Chain A
Amino acid sequence: MKICVCVKQVPDSWAEKKLTAGDSTLDRAAADRVVNELDEYAVEEALRIIEAGEGEVTILSMGPDEAADSVRKAISMGAHAGIHVSDPALYGSDALATSLVLAKAIEGRGFDLIIFGSESTDARMSVVPAMVAARLGLPQMTFANKVEVSGSNLTIHRVTDYGYDEVQSTLPAVVSVVEKTNEPRYPSFKNIMAAKKAPMETLSLSDLGLDAATVGLANAWSEVKDFAERPAKAKGTVITDEGNGAEKIEEFLVTQKFI
């Protein structure tokens, strides 16, 4: 079983995030960079699948030079190898370009499963796994909170408003997992040391046979016209409860016509 897990380096989800004034891209320097939290569930799921049988897990990430740290970090959970796609021309790429690059990096390597976290905590679009499935022409088995592999068959529980759909496909397939699918492990000392020596490929756009005119900020399919910080909310009324707290809330809800 060969599994590819796609991870994204993002600003820490507990930090305030900002856009850059010049070109409206994410200000990556404004916050600590971490592996997207939801991708840790994807790595954990991949490790559980190979531990139940056999196989190898490869971590794939597209991002600036620093994203290599996130690939190593993900490998240190117990994965075997890394692929880092990095090219100055990728700066400012949108989801369409990102999915194109990831699909190119994945195809032809014989992966049985490609696993994503269901969204990144910065862009929060939740579209890249579906887009990569579309580009590769593979079954889209996304928003899973349960993943079962049996031979060449795959069954997931796809989370829905009402509960879940049980969905089946064959391998190879593209999977995304939601938060709390499992309990991601902490890297062991042994695996942290192993990750330092794990094979890592660094690929440029030309290595992938892609033209710089198909990616990057200038070639994005959408553009930011302008942005602004949300104005601070006008200070509301805050009172201290002296046995009348509920009564005061009741009055407020009545004046606002909620009750």
Chain B
Amino acid sequence: MSRKIVSAFAALILAGSASIASAQERVVNVFNWSDYIDASILEDFTKETGIKVVYDVFDSNEILETKLLAGGSGYDVVVPTATFLQRQIAAGVFQKLDKTKLPNITNMWDEITNRIATYDPGNEYAVDYMWGTTGIGYNVEKVKAILGTDEKPTWDVLFNPDVAAKFKDCGIHILDSPTDVVPSVLLYLGLNPDSHAPEDLAKVEEALLKVRPFVRKFHSSEYINALANGDICLAIGYSGDVFQARDRAAEADAGVKVDFSIPPTGAQMWFDVMAIPADAPHPEEAHAFINYMMKPEVIAKASDYVFYANGNKASQQFISKDVIGDTAIYPPEDVMKKLFTTTPFDAKEQRVLTRMWTKVATGQ
């Protein structure tokens, strides 16, 4: 027993001295979403460049933002969602990318880059990692039984009180995030999905309060398990999360089949982008990492692993048929046209939005 303890201490001391010795070694500290990369990509990067990757993960934009705003996070590459990126740029969190160190940027896909420019004018601070949509995750068999059709569900199932009522017992989850839900409600109401006007938000509140009695829960992550276990029928959720639920349900093989619908009237698009904090300790290595991630074969491998679309046009020929051929991941052109982006709320508008949301979610 004591020998084990001694060897454990020895290992600790060795580990400590190793990190001291490696002060000369080139390192890049990456902070990305959990379960969002094929680990072999990081090994390949180290093999090719000799730069060691210290990889750390987070599970919400808020956690990332808090670390970035507090300063001195020590990260070299971070992956915020574009809606958060804009205000983080305004707060001075990021440094401009040195495009001369990013020759692979020519591989990027205009369609995506131009849309990201809404948040990052001139694409000076960030490049796309993955992108997706906010749509409807649903239990295929149960929805078919209730609606009596094979058609993929539209926003009606969530926002039309007469239809939503039929799903009350089966269960509906809604993301507990006004910025991800309100634009879709605005769209359903025939208003501008990017409206920040208080009178439009009042209409959203009214519409949501009508379907509120049929919603089991407002939560931003529980729906993944709930869909996979067959506990709920419908959820407004992020494409990748729903695919995760679909895969878990398939693995469990308990007769639950989950799928994702991008409603034909349109859906909100989101982008996770790579950026370099202003106080990054290794900006040189950060550029090397981002440049590597823009290699077509590399990012294609990442997409194959996480089942998300990426913003790299040149990579599309390398992506497996399962991913590139899935219209819920890479929607056809006519659907692409219906996808919309939204601009962030400023502090005052955000307060109105959050207050409205609290009223919808808690009834207070």
Are chains A and B native binding partners rather than an unrelated pairing? no
Q: Give A residues with C-beta under 8 Å from B.
A: none
Q: Give B residues with C-beta under 8 Å from A.
A: none
